[in-house]
Structures are given as C-alpha cells and as structure tokens.
Structure 1
Amino acid sequence: MTDKPDYLTLSPASMSKRSLSPQGLPAAKRLHTLHSKPPDNHLSIVDVLYDELILTILSYLSWFDLCATQLINRNWARLAVDSELWRRQYILVFGKPRLRGARGQPGRFDGREVKPLPSRARIVDSAYKDWKWMFRISSNWRKGRCSVEELPCAAQPEIPQPLETSSNFNRHLLLTGTLTITASSQPSTGSAIYITSPTESCSVVCRSSNGIPCSIMTLTIDQSAPTLDHHRFLSFLSSGDFFCYQIQHNPLSASRQFQGTIATRRSPSHPVVQAAYHHPLLVTLSRDFTISLYNVVNEALSLTQTLSSFTSFPPVSLVLSTPSPSTYKLVLAYAIPVYPRHWTAGATELMISGVTMTANLTPRPSNPDSLHSLTSPSQSQMTVLSTRTARAVDVPFGWIDERKLRIMREQWSRKVNRVADIQTDGKWVILAPGDQLAGLGDCLASPDSAFDSSYPSPIFRTNKLDDIQMNASTASSLHSPTSLQLYRLIFPPHNSVSSSPPRLSFVRTLHGQTGPVTTLSLADGRCVSLSLNGSIWVWDLEAGTGAEVAAASLEFINGLAFGPDSEPVKGSVSFDERRLIIAQRDNVVIRRFDV
C-alpha cells in the first residue's frame, strides 16, 4: 500500500493563504441613535490640512491672533511659532528700519550709515533666528516692560584710595556683546576699569607714566570685527596717556597690548574727552574741541591730521563708520551758536581716506627697460578727503518771500539757551535743552533750602525744583525744558552729479518726561533719555513714540552731585537690544528687556 501525498492529508483551513480574523462579522444592520459614540478615526477639517496650507492661513493673522491659535491643539501650537511667520509680524509691526543694525554697519553708499547697537555689530548672519523672541523683546522696549537688577561687583584690584572723596564724578560705561565695562572718573594714582560678564568679572588698573594723580577721561571700543572673540578697547587719562587692552574669554581676562602718550599740541591742559576707534583709524576729540586723526600701526600712534573749528561747541557726539573698504565716514553732532545768545543743533560729515595701496612703477634690477608694480601704503591715508555741514537754523541771504520767512521763524523759535546733551546715530539727531540746569547746584545749596529729616539724605524743596516739575505741564511745545527736539540728518551721496545740499530737518518734538533731560543715548533709531528727577524714557524715533521705563524718584534727586559750575553731574547711559544700563556715581543698574 502506497503512502498518500501530503497535500491530500492537509485540512482546508491549513490550505488557505491567510488566517481568518478572530473577530466576528459585523451585524447585518447598524443601529444609529443620537447617543451613539463617533468612531475613533474621525478627522476634522483642522487635521486634514497640510502644514504648508495652515502656514499660509496663519500668515494673514495678527500677532495677537497667532498667540491665540496656539491654544487649538499641539499641531497648531507648533506651526504658530514658525520663525517666518514672526519675521513678517516683526517687519509689519516694527518696520524694516529696526533691522538696519542686525549686521552692524551696512556697506551702503547713500549716506545713511547708522550706528549699530553694541551687540548687534558682532552678530554672525545665521540661517535661523528666533524672530518670535525678537518680537517679544522689541515689544517690551515699546511698552517699557523690563526687569531690574544690579551689576555684579567685579574683582577689586589693589589700588590706592582716591585722593579726594568728592561726589562730583561720573562713571564711564561701555557695552560690547555680553560684556559690561565700567570705570570711574574720580582722580587717583591708579584708576581701575571693571569688566563684567554674566558669569565672570575681572579688572585692570591704569597708571600715568609720570606717576602723577589722574583720572580716566573716556573709554572707546574697537568697532572693527573681532578675531577669535577678542575685543579691544582704549582708555584715555587726563595726563595724556592712553592704554589699549585686549579682552579674552574662557576665562575672562584683559591684557595690555600697548600704551603711549597722545601727541597733541596741548595735551596736558586739553586732554581727550571723546574718541572713536576703528582699527587702524583712531579719532580723538580734545577739551579745546580739536579733532586729531591717528594711524595705529605696529602698536604705536602716528598723528596724520589735526582739525579745528570756530563754530562748533560741546556737547558733541561722534559716529565712525566704513562705507567702503578704503574710506571712513565720521559724523559729528554738536551745538552751534545762534544770535544773540542761543544755541541749536549742527552736524558735519568728514570723509577720511583709509589704508589704500598705490602702485609704484620701478625698473627691475635685471632688466632696466621692464617695469614691475610694487604696492606700498599711500602717503595720504588717514586724512580728510571732503567735509559737509548742515545746520538746524539756516539763515538765507538777500531778500526772502513770505514762505521762507515763515520757515525761518519756525527754525528761530526752536533755539535754546543751553544744550544739555546732543546725540546722533548717523541718521537722526536729537537735542535736549538745558535751560534749567544752569546754577541748579547753587540753588540747592542755599541756606533757605528746607529738607525732610525722615530720609537719610536731605530732600531739598526749593522753588527751582518746583519749577522743574511744574514746567513739564505748563511750558509750550517749543520752549519746554523737558521736551526733546528730533531732527533728520540727510547727506546725499557724493557720486551724484545733481545732488542736493545736506539737510538737518526738524521732524517732531518728543514729550513725556516730567523733568529736564540730562543724558541721552542713541543707536539704531532708538533713544534712551535720563531726566534730572530719575525718570527714564525709551523713544522709537521711526514711529515717534515713547514709553516710560522708570518713574521719577526722590531717592534719585537726593543722589545728585554737582560740579564746580553748579551743574548736575551727568549719569552714563548705554544699551543694546536686550538690556539698558544706567550708571550714576557708585550705582550701576541693569534693566533687562528679554523677559
């Protein structure tokens, strides 16, 4: 008997291609009721849309609606924080002019170079930016919302005590990236400079070459691109000495690169009060209002040109930029006299030649008939090529008609008795009147000044301070001591044949502060003003709006110090896109807007 094949012994179930489902078949008729549960695989219109289509829909919403759509579900919350959506919202709300300083000094040739913010000048262009976070920070600036903290104390160096414990000194302030550089102007045999980062701090000491007591007059940062995260800054002493330091990170330290003495005609009696440095060009402004141009070569200064002015007076603001690789542009804003005894704003543009290489044709030693090119530095480098000036009050010559007469009267009505401060960023010029600052110290120190004994320091209640507070609401728009005058500075390009003359046009008057403004800080179309009573305002010059960051306080008024001319000693103000730092005597306060 033969065996049966295997396929004859297999059951029908084992011969099927796939096994049957263990679940039973559905019912013949489904019962639909009002209380029936919907299937689990139900999809809404929100879930079936592609991400690209949802992003297109969200692009038509406002920033407020974008924040509300994050509450729908996780997918929409993920898409509502898209960086491209918030970039469009940033440009729509704050405008394109707020992005000018994102890459530092743009290489533009239309005369609109703008002074960048200290940390924006060091940002490397990347493919991704958190535009929503930038929108939030800019919104905090517009609304004045910030957090307050004190600057952490740096390591105290071993230096002699100041010669005199006077209170009429100010504090110099610099910001570069995440670093904060501060120094006191109090005279001493060794002046300390403190460098502070969010996690570390260090300090250096400056001493004069002849050992005489001196004070730090000004600090300036190198605006050229840093190498390997190394930053350089210069400090100038009242004795005429200067020091160049280089800051290293990880760990934080500062080393002295070189030092020297400013070679001016009257450096001991007229030290440097302001400076601008873009390696290898160094521009200094002395106390006698003389501008000197230096070429920094091989750790030494070489004086190339000295300029003087008979129509420009302090205060002054310097902005140094590089419109082309071989040209520097220096913009100065200053006070100019107006008949009979008044002041207004003026600005000057200086085009300075940079380091250029010229071709010298010399014969080869082997073949006298052949010529070859040798490059050597030009002899005319670091000198002024051209200069242009614009004034806020322009007096026309000859006879004028009614229209020009009306314009001249409007300009004439904006003249002030004194100028407290004036600042520029290359496009805007802002002037703070100082009519009520003259003789304020004598008024506060008068014997008939009453004070309140409930406070640790005297609170003087004089008629002068009462007038300061009262004039904030009673003065006119053109003569208010608390208002700021905003001008637009326009220098047409040089390459235009039919270019118009430079203009310094009045734009608007900024109102809001309740006390006379003593200190201004301007960069990238944003201005910060510090008042005599301690109020701090932030101004968006493009939109013409302002917000109060800090209100007036009696404690700030009690801490005022006055110089020999009975005028209050100005505080120092500096800011970048995330923080605002106010330095007054020994108090340094940081206000952070990235909250």
Structure 2
Amino acid sequence: MSKRPLSPATLPPSKRVHISWDGAHESTPRRTFDTLLYDELVLHIFSYLPWEDLCAVQATNRNWFRLSADNQLWKSLYLTEYGRSRLRGGRGFVGRTDGREVKPLPGRAHSDEVKNWKAMFRISTNWRTGRCDISKVEDDMQALAQTGNADIQTMNGAEQQLAGKTHMLLTGHFTIIASSQPSISPAITFISPTSHTTTIHAKCLRVQRPIQITALAVDQSPPSTSFTRIAVCLSNGELQVFEQHGVHLQTSSRKHYYIPPARTPRTTPILQVAYHHPVLATLSEKFHLSIYDVSSESMKLTHCLTSFTCFPPASMVLSSPEPSTHRLVLTYASPVYPKHWSVGVTEVILNSAPSSLHSTSSDPASAIRLISTRSTRAFDLPPGWLDTAKLAVLHEQWGRKVFEVAGTQTDGRWVILAPSDSVAPNTPSTSTTGILSPFSSMPLQLYRISFPSATANSSATPKLTFVRNLHGHTGPTAALALADGRCVSVGHDGSIWVWDLEAGTGAEVAPARDEEDEDSIESMEERWALAAKATVVFDERRIINAGVGGVVVRNFDI
C-alpha cells in the first residue's frame, strides 16, 4: 500500500524516442521541388518549352541537365522546326521525292542507327544563323588545286579559260579535289574524313599529250556497294568513270570510258556533266547535250540534242523518280530581245527499261530511250493580242531581265538566276565609310518549277514561277551551289550567303575578307580574275569554296 494516493492530474506527455530499439540512426530524405516530380512529368513539361528555354534550364541542376538532353524532346523540336527527319545538303545521291531515306539491303542484320537529334538541331540552327568554324585546306592540297603562272602562259585561249578552276565534290566518304591544270595524267585527290588521302590519275587513252579536267560528277544513284563512282570529263573529249572504295583507299579502278571518234564541238569542251548510273549526260560549250549508256565498259552514245536558243552558264541535275525512268532538268541563260537575258528550263525524260517498244535513239539496240522533252522560260512573250492581265504579267517579267548572267543552278524543284555586271570594275569607288564598294546590290532571282504529269498530257508545258528576290550580296555572284532546297552563293567580294529556300531565311556565313591590299587597281583586277573562277560545294555539315582565299572549309558541326 502506497504512502499517499495518486494525484488525479494527467501524466505529462512522454518524450520522443530519438534512438530506435536496435540502436541504428534513421533519417527521412528532404523533399524538394525536384524530387517531388517524376521524370516523366518533368519531360512532359519540358515538351512545351522552346529550344531556347530548354537550353536555359540545363543550368538548373544535374537532373534537369540530364532530362533536357532527352533525345525524343529534341526529335520533336527538330521535326517541328525543320520538318525533315534528316539533315539537308548536297548528298552523294538524290533520294526519294517524299524525303524517305534510301539505303541498300545489308549483308547481315544491323541494329537501328540512333540519331542524335540535339546535334542535328544544333547543326541546322548554325546553317540558319551562319555560325561556323573556318579553316583552310593544307598547303600541299591547296597547291594541287592551283595553277602556276608559267603553265598558264603556255596555254592557248580556250585552255586559259578552263585553267585555274578547282573542281570539287563532296560525297558520303570523301572530299574530292581536282585541278584544271594541264597534265599528261591529271590527278584527282580523295580526302577521307580522317584526313587520309589517295590520288588517282585520269590518263589519256589515245595520244599522250597534256590534257585538262573540265568537269566532274558523282554518281547520284543509291549506292549498292561501298564504292564511290565519279565521272571525269577531259579536254580532249574523253569520258572516264572511276570507282573508289570507301574504306580501302588504295582500291580504285577505271570501270567505264568513252573515246570520241573526232574532236568536235559536241565533245570539247565539256562544261557540265550529270551521272545517274547507268545514264550519263554531258553538255558542251556550244550547247550540245549528249546522253550515254554506261551499262558496259565502253560507253555508248545514245542521243545527241542541240539548241540554238540556249546559252551558258548552265547546270544539270539527273534523277530517277521511278524505276527505269530518268529525268534530266537543265537550266540555262535564255535571251530576251534586244540585249537582255533571263533563265530557261528544259526537262528530258529517258527510259532505260528493256521492255520499251518505242525508241528515237541513233542506236536501235540501245536500252536508253528518249521519251519526251519539254521547255519553258521565265520571260515568255505570249502570241497574239494581250489583255490587261497578261500585259501586267509581261511588265513584271520585263522588270526582271538582266544584262548578263553570272550563273544558273537547279536542284530539280528550285531555279536560281544570278545576275552579273557587263564589265569588271576598273576604278572602284569609295563610300563615305572608307570601304571600297564598286558594286551595287544585285539580288538573286528565285523560281519554282512545276512539271505537269507526263502521263496525263505529254505536251503540257512546265511552269516557271517567280517566288522572290534573295538579297544579300553587294555585287555580282562568283559561284553558286543549289541542292536539297538550300542555296549557297559566293560573291566577288568574298562574302558567302546561305538561303533556306523552303523556310525563306538567309544568313551571311562569313563577311568579306579584306586581308589583301585592295587600294590598288592591280589588286582589284587580280581578285576579279580569281573570283571569276571560284567554285563552291556543300553537304549537310560543310561548305568548301575555292577562290581568292584559296581552298577554305566552313564547318557547321560545332
């Protein structure tokens, strides 16, 4: 029995136990805004952000940096912004018209290639803004692509016009550079992505005399092997097709050739060539279009077309919209009375199916048959009387005439006309800022080609519609390149502009270079002569141009 009774008051609350019974320390992780949300929810929120904000949230923490680099996020952004599932550029072959990739069947099963959509978005954005890394080709390669003054003095007039120009091609495996310098065996250099080089020589198959390379073209057909095929046109009229292995650089050979029976304006000099196996097309300076069958080792001339209303500069693109059907699109300078110029387009449809019954070729046994030819011009005077609407259209077309054409280019859908001054400037003027400005603004003219269905009406005329002017250069254009809806132009002042023809955007890649002394007339004349022989090529990631500054590479994959 207790000494005193218990108090009726309630007992005080018991103290919390800070140590568990087993003696281990327990702690609850602190919940934050980052840990309260699942990764799936954060990714769903990120899907509503534009690419600028998606890049900005990367600096928040490591978790958001990881989530903001999600490949599916950037895939959605890329397809929304640029609309295609691949990078755009002058590829080694022209793919399908619907944009789907065409690849050969593999020898064994391969895993699906995972695309880095963020890198693709960065490269495409650099193209749009003109951001790139500029580098020069090494001195030994640049010397290969140039012609010495001693060699030029020993040439005749026609050879001097061809000399000094650098021929360049970009394929999936190589960068191909060839000089137009006369030689017994002109060299063609292949540069791999790892900077390894190999050289093949286009030797004359008849009389051993100095010859020049006048044109180069890569096979535009889908690759069936690991070999790259290129067509080489020589100044003596010969044509040669070489194969170069994509991995083993020493594996190369001449697979096809053509020896003309005589030196004629049809075969010399060849200024343009297009190749889509087994069809090869060449265009001479006198505007003779020749079609060859490359099925056998010795090429066969199947068709020869001539025009008296088409003039250089010209460009060609050869594609295969359907199996056994080839379409050649040719752009050229078209005269406008009395002394002006515009642009014209011709479409040539060829059939290489052996089951075709009708043939208009000179060789009855040839498998390549000419189906149709259709032409149109940007300035076309309608016959008869004109009403008010037709007269207004005619006035608009007349306002786009030019005194001289610097270049024309096409990719089969778009056409570019680059105007030029009639003469080179001899006394450049100086602006108020002290910068030489001998030229005025000369925008490029952009047109869209529409080809009616040949099956519905074979006599329907293609339509060449003016879209807009491309403003950028402050002078004439020195070189043009057009592929896959993208145009790259080089001005006489050294500036380079890039236009996305489908999106309607344009940007200057590099400003005009003022490294040389331009205060003297001799310096300006030298730059004009070098710029007149400039060339430019591009693919999905690079622009390579040869001109006043040598051979320069601009890389957008940075």
- Which TM-score applies when normalising by structure 1? 0.77
Aligned residue number for residue 170 of structure 2 = 175
Q: Is the 8 A contact 1:105 1:121 kept in 2?
A: no
Residue 400 to residue 285, structure 1, CA distance change in 2 (3 Å) = same
Q: Residues 174-232 of structure 1, C-alpha deviation per residue, up to 9 Å, x if partnerless?
A: 11114111111122333221111233011122232201221111111112233442111
One of 387, 402, 416 as aligned partner of 1:416: 402
Match of 2:195 among 185, 193, 199: 199
| Residue equivalent to 2:538 | 575
Question: Using a 3 Å threshold, how does the CA distance of structure 1 residues 351 and 264 change in structure 2: closer, same or farther?
Answer: farther
CA distance in 2, matches of 1:69, 1:25: 37
Aligned residue among 133, 137, 151 for 1:164: 151
Q: Which has the larger Rg?
A: 1
Contact 1:353–1:380 (8 Å) recurs in 2: no
CA contact (8 A) 1:163 1:188 kept: no
C-alpha separation between the residues in 2 aligned to 1:318 and 1:113?
A: 21
8 Å contact kept, 2:87–2:540: no
Matched, 1:225 2:222: yes
Deviations 1:400-427 (A, max 9, x none): 2222211110101100111000101111
1:319/1:424 contact within 8 Å kept: yes
1:362 matched to which residue of 2? none
Secondary structure of residue in 2 paired with 1:164? helix
2:303 is aligned to 305
Task: Give the structure 2 partner of residue 534 of structure 1.
Answer: 494
For residue 347 of structure 1, what is the aligned residue in structure 2? 345
1:380-459 equivalences under 5 Å are 381-436=367-422, 438=423, 440=424, 444=426
Q: Give yes or no for contact 1:170–1:585 (8 Å, CA) kept in 2.
A: no
Asked if 2 retains the 8 angstrom alpha-carbon contact of 1:560 and 1:569, the reply is no
The corresponding residue for 1:5 is: none
Cα distance change, pair 25–300 in 1 and its aligned pair in 2 (3 A): closer
Matched, 1:105 2:65: no
Separation in structure 2 between the aligned mates of residue 250 and residue 189 of structure 1, nearest angstrom: 28
Equivalents in 2 of 1:578, 1:559: separation in Å? 32
Counterpart of 1:245 in structure 2 is 242
Q: 1:104–1:121: 8 Å Cα contact kept in structure 2?
A: no
Superposed, which structure 2 residues align to 1:195-594 within 5 Å?
195-197=190-192, 198-208=194-204, 209-253=206-250, 255-258=252-255, 260-263=257-260, 266-267=263-264, 270-357=268-355, 379=365, 381-436=367-422, 438=423, 440=424, 444=426, 462=428, 469=437, 471-472=439-440, 480=441, 482-496=442-456, 501-555=461-515, 558=523, 569-584=532-547, 587-594=550-557
Aligned equivalents of 2:85 and 2:394: distance in 1? 31
- Superposition deviation, residue 67 in structure 1: 0.8
Unaligned runs of 5+ residues in structure 1 are 1-19, 27-38, 360-376, 445-460, 473-479
8 Å CA contact 2:87, 2:124 repeated in 1: no
Supply the distance in 1 between the matched residues of 2:336 and 2:478 (Cα, whole angstroms). 21
C-alpha change, 1:559 and 1:175, in structure 2 (3 Å) is farther
- Indicate if the aligned counterparts of 1:317 and 1:334 stay in contact, CA closer than 8 A: yes
* Counterpart code for 1:576: D
Structure 1 Cα separation of the partners of residues 421 and 436 of structure 2: 10
Amino acid of the structure 2 residue aligned with 1:200: H
Q: Unaligned stretches of 5+ in structure 2?
A: 1-19, 154-159, 358-362
Aligned residue type for 1:143: T
Deviates more, 1:82-91 or 1:247-256: 247-256
SS at match of 1:240: coil
CA contact (8 A) 2:292 2:303 kept: yes
Question: How large is the RMSD of aligned CA atoms in angstroms?
Answer: 3.6
2:180 maps to 185
Contact 1:483 1:510 survives alignment (8 Å): yes
1-structure distance, mates of 2:313, 2:340: 14
Deviation at 1:265, TM superposition (A): 6.5
Please list the CA deviations of residues 222-265 of structure 1 after superposition, one character each: whole Å capped at 9, or x if unmatched. 12233442111121110122332221244423523245334376
CA distance in 1, matches of 2:228, 2:71: 31
Count matched residues: 508
**Residue 82 of structure 1: CA displacement?**
1.9
2:51 alignment counterpart: 63
Percent of paired sites with the same residue:
43
2:63 corresponds in structure 1 to 75
The alpha carbon displacement at 1:335 in A equals: 0.8
Go from structure 1 to structure 2 and tell me whether the alpha carbon gap of 1:542 and 1:468 turns closer, same or farther (over 3 Å shift).
farther
- 1:14 equivalent in structure 2: none
Summarize deviations over 1:274-322 as a string: whole Å, max 9, x none: 1111111111112211111111123110111111112111111111111
8 Å CA contact 1:355–1:378 kept in 2: the answer is no
Contact 2:429 2:438 in 1 (8 A): no
Q: Distance between the aligned counterparts of 2:136 and 2:377, measured in 1? A: 41
Q: Measure the CA separation in 1 of the matches of 2:514 and 2:38.
A: 59
Q: Is the 8 A contact 1:561 1:569 kept in 2?
A: no
Deviates most, 219-228 or 120-129: 120-129
Separation in 2, partners of 1:357, 1:133: 47
Instruction: Give the conservation status (yes or no) of the 8 Å contact 2:411–2:485.
Output: yes
How far 1:24 sits from its partner (Å)? 8.3
Corresponding residue for residue 7 of structure 1: none
CA distance in 2, matches of 1:52, 1:386: 57
Cα distance between partner residues in 2 of 1:313 and 1:97: 38
Q: Deviations over 1:56-87 (max 9, x none)?
A: 22211100111122223333322212222212
Which deviates more, 349-358 or 514-523? Answer: 349-358
Which residue of 90, 94, 109 maps to 2:82?
94
The DSSP-based 3-state class of the residue aligned with 2:151 is: coil
Partner letter of residue 239 of structure 2?
F
Pick aligned residue for 2:124 from 124, 127, 138:
138
* Alpha-carbon distance in structure 2 between the residues aligned to 1:416 and 1:519: 17
Specify the code of the residue in structure 1 equivalent to 2:542.
R
* TM-score scaled by length of structure 2: 0.81
Tell me the SS of whatever aligns to 1:105: coil
The one-letter code sitting in structure 2 at the alignment partner of 1:402 is T
Contact conserved, 2:531 with 2:548, CA < 8 A, in 1? no
- The one-letter amino acid of 2:188's match is I
Amino acid at match of 1:427: R
| Letter of the 1:177 counterpart | G
SS state at 1:321 partner: strand
CA deviation after TM superposition for structure 1 residue 90, in Å: 1.7
Q: Are the counterparts in 1 of residues 428 and 438 from structure 2 also a CA contact under 8 Å?
A: no
The 3 A distance-change label for structure 1 pair 424 and 230 is same
2:315 counterpart SS class: strand
What's the offset of the Cα at 1:103?
10
Q: Secondary structure at the match of 1:381?
A: coil
In structure 2, distance between residues paired with 1:175 and 1:330: 21
Q: Given the superposition, is the C-alpha separation of residues 139 and 586 from structure 1 closer, same or farther in structure 2, using an over 3 Å criterion? A: closer
